[in-house]
């Protein structure tokens, strides 16, 4: 019990999970992530133009989770220890949350440049779930 994302729901969002597809608002030009709902910037209920971002961005906020990860990430935390997770603003302007990888978690800071890479996130009901994490770029 508790929070749960079913497999069909996960798969429905594959374009967002793997390619970070953004929705460009035809009214105000803002990029929305995920590409659904009304525009978060101007509230327009318009058909978004799908835009595939380059996949680089800047860290806007970061925290290091030292214990009590969401249960989906229990195994990961047991194996890897503390991990960094934060909010990244893509070059196109949309924000999304993401874990940081291939780095020392304590070294990730606001303002750092990062790029999206597809990683195994967690396993549930015997099915590995994949999606984007972010790794630092020089």
Partner 1 sequence: MNDVYVVGAGQTDYGSFPRESYRSLFKEAVDTAVDSVDAEFDRESVDEAYVGTLGVGGRQLGLPGPAVTEFAGLNGTATTRVENACAASGVALRQAVLAVRAGVADVALAGGFEVMNDVSSERTGEWLGVSGETEWERMAGTTFSGVYAQMADAHMAEHGTTREHLSRVAVKNHANGAKNPHAQLGFETTLADAMNAPAVADPLNLFDCCPTSDGASAVLVASRDAAEELTDNPIRIAGAGQSSGRVGLFQRPTLTEIPATQRAAEQAYDEADIGPEDVEFAEVHDCFSIAELLAYEDLGFCERGEGGPYVASGATEPDGERPVNLSGGLKAKGHPIGATGGGQVVEVFKQLRGEAGDRQVSGLSRGLTHNVGGSGGAVAVHVFEEGWA
**106 close to 57: Cβ distance less than 8 angstroms:** no
**117 close to 135: Cβ distance less than 8 angstroms:** yes
- 56 binds partner 1, rule: CB under 8 A: no
Tokens matching residue 83 = 């991990």
- 72 binds partner 1, rule: CB under 8 A: yes
- 103 binds partner 1, rule: CB under 8 A: no
Kindly determine how many residues on this chain lie close enough to bind partner 1 according to the rule CB under 8 A.
Answer: 43
Q: How many other C-beta atoms can be found within 10 angstroms of the C-beta atom of residue 123? A: 12
Site residues (vs partner 1, CB under 8 A): 1-5, 9, 13, 33-34, 40-41, 60-74, 76, 83, 85-87, 95-99, 106, 110-111, 121-122, 129, 131
Site residues (vs Zn ion, CB under 5 A): 25, 27-28, 30, 39, 41-42, 44
């Amino acid at each position: 019990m508790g929070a749960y994302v079913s497999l069909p729901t996960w798969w429905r969002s594959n374009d967002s999970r793997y390619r970070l597809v953004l929705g460009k608002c035809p009214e105000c030009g803002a990029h929305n992530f995920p590409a659904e709902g009304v525009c978060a910037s101007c509230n327009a209920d318009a058909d978004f133009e799908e835009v595939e971002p380059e996949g680089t961005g800047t860290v806007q906020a970061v925290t290091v989770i030292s214990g009590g990860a969401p249960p989906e990430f229990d195994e990961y935390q047991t194996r890897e220890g503390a991990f960094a997770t934060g909010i990244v603003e893509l070059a196109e302007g949309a924000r999304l949350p993401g874990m940081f990888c291939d780095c020392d978690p304590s070294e990730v800071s606001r303002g750092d440049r990062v790029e999206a890479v597809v990683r195994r996130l967690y396993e549930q009901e015997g099915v590995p779930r994949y999606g984007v994490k972010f790794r630092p770029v020089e």
